[in-house]
Amino acid sequence: MIKKFFITGTDTNVGKTIVSSILLKKATMSGYQTAGYKPVSSGGQKKSSSFFNQDAILLKKSSSIILSDREVNPIAFFENAPPHILSKFQKRSIKKEELSLGLSNITKKSNWILVEGAGGWYTPLSCKDTFSSWVKQEKLTVIIIIAIKLGCINHAILTEKAIISDQIKCGGWIANNIFPKDKYNMHYIQTLLNYIKSPFLGVVPYFKNKNRINFKKIKIKLPK
């Protein structure tokens, strides 16, 4: 059975890619053939005559199967801005069919796929479509990444309600400590446990050096 999940966040810069890489490693350790997929990215670094997106590169490295840059990230914009705006300025349309084709190709090679969105749940792909409408079309199970910080409780509640109202399965949520731990962190998480009805998959601790993460010591569960 092929498992396909979609990673969304309560906002941008909540650590979706780091958590995605951890989940991919965990799934690989559980015996799955894993693949990370970043259908649309914005923000890149120059590499000779081209550029690459850091998130897509990390997903590629964290996958157990070999994928090309284009397979992992078919639509990439160099500037760091909302994809639908960059699409308009650069006259590079974002079509749901293209996103689906990329996912279909990866599905032929992998049995555990993690699709990382851009920004939050309703990030637009165009003037008519959002990421959420594509997720619903593909019937993906959603995982919410919640960055533990001021404002996260409201954002998390709204995000889960939006997913459920769209009649999409929410496979769980993960608390990500993006700042050094303080006395309120556990209170944030406890409040979220009271309000968020989807399964709690675990907590990712704060890492000062994100290049030296010990995946085996992070206690988060794989979504079902």
What's residue 48's pLDDT?
56
Nearest to 115 by CA among 96, 128, 129: 96
Question: Are 26 and 215 spatial neighbours (Cβ–Cβ below 8 Å)?
Answer: yes
Going 136 to 139 to 141 to 143, the CA torsion angle's sign is negative
What's residue 46's pLDDT?
60
Which tokens is 103 given?
């996912």
CA gap 139, 169 in Å, rounded: 8
What's residue 74's pLDDT?
94
Q: CATH class for domain 3-217?
A: alpha beta
What's residue 49's pLDDT?
53
**Residues of the chain falling short of pLDDT 70:** 45-51, 210
What's residue 207's pLDDT?
85
The catalytic site residues sit at 38
Burial class of 200 by CB neighbour count within 10 A (0 to 12, 13 to 18, 19+): middle
217: number of Cβ within 10 Å: 7
What's the CA dihedral at 148, 153, 157, 163 to 10 degrees?
A: -20
Helix runs in 142-199, H state only: 152-165, 185-195
pTM (2 d.p.): 0.94
